[in-house]
Structure 1
C-alpha cells in the first residue's frame, strides 16, 4: 500500500533521493552544472513555494516520490525508478487534478519517459519553447478532464 500526504521538512532527504534517481533516468542529456543548481534550488526555492505532496511506501515507511504544484502547474513529479509502472505517478497526478482541475506543465522534449507518462494520462501539447536555463527544448502540455 501507498499513502499520499503533504510534504513535511523531514521528507527532504527522500524527496531529493527520488528526484536525483528519477532525474538521472529521465534527463541524461542535462548538463551537470544545471543539475547541480537545480539540486540546490529544490530545498531553497522550489519546495517552499510549492504545494508538495509525497507518496510513501507503507511497507518501507519511506517516501518514494513527490509532486510539486504551483496552482494548476505541475512543477515537478518524480518517483524512484524501481516504483515506476505501479500506477503511483497516476495516483499523484489524480491528487493534483482533484485539487486544481485542469493541469499544465512543461516537459523536456528529450524526456521520453515523462512524455509517455503524460500522454497516457491524457495531456496534450499546447506550445513549445526553449528552456533558457538548460538550453533544451521543452513542450508545454495541458490536461483537461
Structure 2
C-alpha cells in the first residue's frame, strides 16, 4: 500500500538522491554543466515548497511530485521503484485535485512521454527550450478525462 505525505526539511537529502538517480536513469541528453546547474537550482528551490512524497513502510521517500497552479512541475520516482504504480498513483492524486492537469515532458525522454500518454495525457504543443531557456525541447501535455 502506498503512503503519501508532504515533505519536510529532513527529506531534502533523499529527495535530491531520488532526483539524481532518476535523472541518471532517464535524462541522458542533459549536458553535465546543465545537470549541475539544475541540481543547484533545485537545492535552493525544494526547501521553499511542499512536495508530495510517496514513502515506504519505514517512511523513506520513494518518489516525489510538485504541483503548482494545476501544472505538474515535477514527478520523479526512484528508478528501483519504477513500474510499481507510484507514478500512476501520484497522477491520480493530481488529477483529483486538478482535472485539467497540465505537464511538460522533455522531447528526448520517450519513456516519460509514453508514461504520460498511457495515463491519459494528450499533446497540446511544443517549445524549443525548457522553462529556464536551456535548449531542451518540451512537449506540452494536458490530461484528457475519458469520455
Please indicate, yes or no, whether the TM-score normalized by the shorter chain is above 0.5: yes
Q: Give TM-score, length-normalised by structure 1.
A: 0.92
Offset at 1:47?
A: 5.0
**In proportion to residue count, which structure has more strand?**
1
In structure 2, the partner of 1:77 is: 75
In structure 2, the partner of 1:97 is: 95
Indicate the SS of the match to 1:140: strand
Residues in 2 aligned to 1:129 and 1:97: alpha-carbon distance in whole angstroms: 24
In structure 2, the partner of 1:22 is: 22
Change (3 A) 1:48 1:144: farther
Q: Give TM-score, length-normalised by structure 2.
A: 0.90
In structure 1, the partner of 2:108 is: 110
Higher relative contact order, chain-length normalized (CA < 8 Å, sep 6+): 1
In structure 2, the partner of 1:42 is: 42
Residues in 2 aligned to 1:68 and 1:56: alpha-carbon distance in whole angstroms: 15
Unaligned runs of 5+ in 1: none
Residues in 1 aligned to 2:106 and 2:47: alpha-carbon distance in whole angstroms: 20
Unaligned runs of 5+ in 2: none
In structure 2, the partner of 1:55 is: 54
Indicate the SS of the match to 2:128: strand
2:135 is aligned with 1:135: yes
2:65–2:75 CA contact under 8 A, matched in 1: yes
Offset at 1:43?
A: 2.8
Residues in 1 aligned to 2:47 and 2:102: alpha-carbon distance in whole angstroms: 18
Q: CA RMSD in A?
A: 1.4
Indicate the SS of the match to 2:55: strand
